[in-house]
Structures are given as structure tokens and as C-alpha cells.
Structure 1
Amino acid sequence: MKEAILHLEKADIYQRDSLVLSQVNLRLNKGDFYYLIGKTGSGKSSLMKTLYGDLLLRKGKGSIVDFDLPTLKEKDIPFLRRKIGIVFQDFKLLNDRTIYDNLIFVLKATGWKDSGKMKTKIYEVLEKVGMKEKYYKKPFELSGGEQQRVAIARALLNDPELILADEPTGNLDPKTSLEVMELLNEIHQSGKTILMATHDYALIVKFKQKTIKCEGGEVFEVVQQAVI
């Protein structure tokens, strides 16, 4: 049986005191790529936040990259986030520093000490996303697509077992969305496991992967033809 990177069993997902998803059963194996779809307010973001430790899993079983979600302590969250890469819709880059310094900041925050190794790693991930030549620029000097490429590079810094992409094309035009999706596809083909929340049905049709849907307080897998 394939190794489970993410496993939820009868999990209830809360946003503050409101139950938004109940009895969630979900399993992602190593190397899987799943889309997570659903209307605004259907619970997609709450599910994502529970997976990366922003919201506590109060009821049910859940594990992600060998961390037990119901017993996750605040002090464990930085260690969890070393093993997963998170890509946000709004990039979350620090505008007052260069791309290189944005990535140095993350490496230092996740325990890297050796400056030579940090430099090598930064150039490696920037090369992977086609942004090595722009390491000295600040985020506001880049286009939205370039900023998202940097955000993906940041997610790759610690060689994560799983990438959680929360609406990564949400702020991008169709052409740029396509480029970012092609990049995520390449990263998946290199062996990474990806869970991507999205509203962009054109991408789902073009890049066919397994799809799960949040609707009516439940999460279930849908066949590709029924997605639209």
C-alpha cells in the first residue's frame, strides 16, 4: 500500500465555533495531486488552515507528514511547516526586502545556519522556477506571475513532502495562471505531492487530476466530467 502523506478520518473542521465541514475522510498518498474545489464559504480555506496548523483539529483523526493534528502544539507548528510547502493566493512576500532576502528569512526561521548551504539552496529553487536572474529585485518590482513563482520557490526551500497551494492562481490573469500551473505540474512530476484549492475550472479541465469537492458541509471525490 502506498505511503499516506495526509490522512483525515471522521474529522470535523471548525472556523472559530462554527462547524464548516463534518466527518471528513481524506487520504493523499505520496505522489498524488488533488484539486480541492467548492464555492466561497464551502470550507476549503478552513480545511487548508487545519492542515497547516492555523486551525486546531478538534474532533476526529488526522495526520499530515507524520504530525498528529489533534495533538499538534503551537511549538510543533514551525517543524510541521518545514515538511510542507505552502503557496498562498496573495504571495505573502516581504516587500521591503529582495527576493533573495525573502528566502534567507524563511531558511533562518526554519533552522538553517550554514550561509553557504543557504545560498546554494536559494539559487537552486529560484532556478527551478525560472527566477534566478531576478534574485536582487524586490517583490513590488515583479509581475504577479513572477511573485507567485518566487512564492513557489519559497515553498520548495525545505524539500517538502507535501505542497498545499491555496488558490495559487486566484490573483493572476489566464495566461499567467497557465504558466504557474505548468510549473506546479512539473514539480508534481518530479515526485512532490500536491493539494491545490482552486476556483479555476479551466485549469482543472486542462490539467486533469483527481478532484475533491467541499459542498453542503461535506468533502467528497468527484469524477472529472462532473466537476463543471
Structure 2
Amino acid sequence: MPETIVKLQDVAVFQNENLVLNNIDLEVKKGEFVYVIGKTGSGKSSFMKTLYADLPLKQGTGQVVDFDLKTLKEKDIPFLRRKLGIVFQDFKLLPDRNINNNLRFVLKATGWTDSTKMDEKIEEVLNKVGMKTKGFKFPHELSGGEQQRIAIARALLNDPELILADEPTGNLDPQTSVEVMKVLQDINQNGRTIIMATHDYALILKYPHKTLKCDGSKVFEVIQKAI
């Protein structure tokens, strides 16, 4: 049996005191690729933030990569996030340093100390996203699609058990979106579990996977119809 990476039971998601989503039951197994879709404001981002403990779990029970979201203490959140790779819509690269040093910064922040091992890891993740030759460039010298590939490489640095991608193609044109999706597909085919929030229906049809929809404060699975 594949191990369970995410398990939510009767979860409610709150933004401050406002109930955003209710009665969520979800199980995601190792190696799955799951889309989370829904209109702007339907709760996709709040759902993702709950998974990486940016929003506290106040109601229901939730496990993410063996961490209990209900009892998770503030000081343990960084340890949860080390097991996660998080990819945002707006890349969040540090503009004042080149790509290698962006990645090195993350490794140092998560406890790496051996310079040679850091260099090897940086080369490995850049290779995985097809950006091996770009490490000396600064973020502003790269296209949006290239920056998002770097953001995916950054998410892979600590060999995460789960990648959370929140609208990773939201700022990209359709062609570039497909290129970034291909990178995520490859990563998933190598055994990584991915949950991706998106409103890009063209991608969902091109790369069908299990799809959850946020609508009317509920989260439910929808079956994709092939075109």
C-alpha cells in the first residue's frame, strides 16, 4: 500500500474568523498528483496555506507528511516545511543574488553546512528542471518561465515528500505554462507527490489527474471530461 502523505478529516479552513471551507475529507497517497481548482476567492490558497501551516488548523484533524496539523507547535512549523516543497505564483526569488546563491541561501537556512555537498545538490536540482547552465544568472536576467523552474528547483532542495504548488503557472503565458507543467510531470513520475492549485483548465485537460474543486465552501472531487 502506498503511504498516506496527506489525510484530512472533517477539516474546516478559516481565514481569521471567517469560515472559508468546511467538511473537508481528503486522502492523498504517495506519488499522486492532485489539482485543486475553483474560482478566485473560492478558498484554494487558504486550503494550501492550511497544508503548510500558514493558517492554523482549528477544526477537524489533519496529517501532512507525518505532522499533526492540529497539535503542531509554532516552533515545529519549519520542520514540517522542510519536508515540503512550496512553489508560489510569484517565484519569490531573492533579486540581489544569483541563482546558485538563491539556492545556497535556502540550504544554509535549513541546516546544510558542507560547501561541496551544497554545490552538488544545487547542480542536481538545476539539472532536474533543465536549468543547469543558468546558476550564475540573476533572477532579472531570466524569463518568467525560467524563474518558475528555478522556484521548482528550490522546492526540491531538501527532497520533499510533498510539493505544494499554488498557481505555479498563474503569471506565465500558455506555452511557458506547458513547459513548467512538463517539469512538474517529470518530478511526479519520479515518485514525488504534488498538490497543485490552479485555474488553468487547459493544463488540467492536457495533463489529467485527480481534481478537487473548491466551491460554495466545500471541497469535492470532480471527474474530468476529455475533450
Question: What TM-score do you get using the length of structure 1 for normalisation?
Answer: 0.98
CA deviation vs aligned residue, 1:147-169 (integer Å, no higher than 9, x gap): 00000000000010110000000
Alignment partner, residue 60 of structure 1: 60
Equivalent pairs counted in the alignment come to: 227
Aligned equivalent of 1:97: 97
Distance across 2 between alignment mates of 1:192 and 1:60: 26
Percent identity over the alignment?
69
Distance (Å, rounded) in 2 between the aligned partners of 1:72 and 1:47: 17
CA distance in 2, matches of 1:68, 1:34: 21
1:135 maps onto 2:157 in alignment: no
- More displaced stretch, 67-76 vs 142-151: 67-76
**C-alpha deviations, 1:84-123, integer Å up to 9, x for none?**
1000000000001110011011111111111111110000
Runs of 4+ aligned residues of structure 1 deviating over 2 Å after TM superposition are: none
**Helix, strand or coil at the partner of 1:79:** helix
Question: CA shift at 1:3, angstroms?
Answer: 1.0
- Within 5 Å, give how 1:204-219 maps onto structure 2: 204-219=204-219
What are the superposed Cα offsets for residues 180-213 of structure 1, whole Å, 9 maximum, x if unpaired?
Answer: 0011001000000000000100000000111000
Cα deviation, residue 28, structure 1: 0.4
CA-CA distance at 1:71 after TM superposition: 1.0
Offset, 1:2: 2.7
What is the rounded CA distance, in whole Å, between the counterparts of 1:157 and 1:79 in structure 2? Answer: 14
The within-5 A match list for 1:11-90 is 11-90=11-90
Tell me the alpha carbon deviations over residues 1-40 of structure 1, each in whole angstroms, 9 at most, x when there is no partner. Answer: 4311001000010011100001110110001100000001
* 1:126 and 2:129 correspond: no
CA distance in structure 2 between the partners assigned to 1:18 and 1:70 by the alignment: 18
Shift of 1:45: 0.3
**Code of the aligned partner of 1:17:** E
> Residues of 1 paired with 2:147 and 2:114: CA distance?
26
Partner of 1:168: 168
How far, CA to CA, are the matches of 1:198 and 1:52 in structure 2?
Answer: 17
SS at match of 2:116: helix
The unaligned stretches of length 5 or more in structure 2 are none
State the alpha-carbon separation in 1 of the partners of residues 22 and 208 from structure 2: 27
5+ residue gaps, structure 1, are none
Q: Take 1:77 and 1:99, find their aligned partners in 2: how far apart are those partners?
A: 26
**1:65, CA displacement in angstroms?**
0.3
**CA distance in 2 between partners of 1:182 and 1:131 (Å):** 14
- How far, CA to CA, are the matches of 2:118 and 2:96 in structure 1? 20
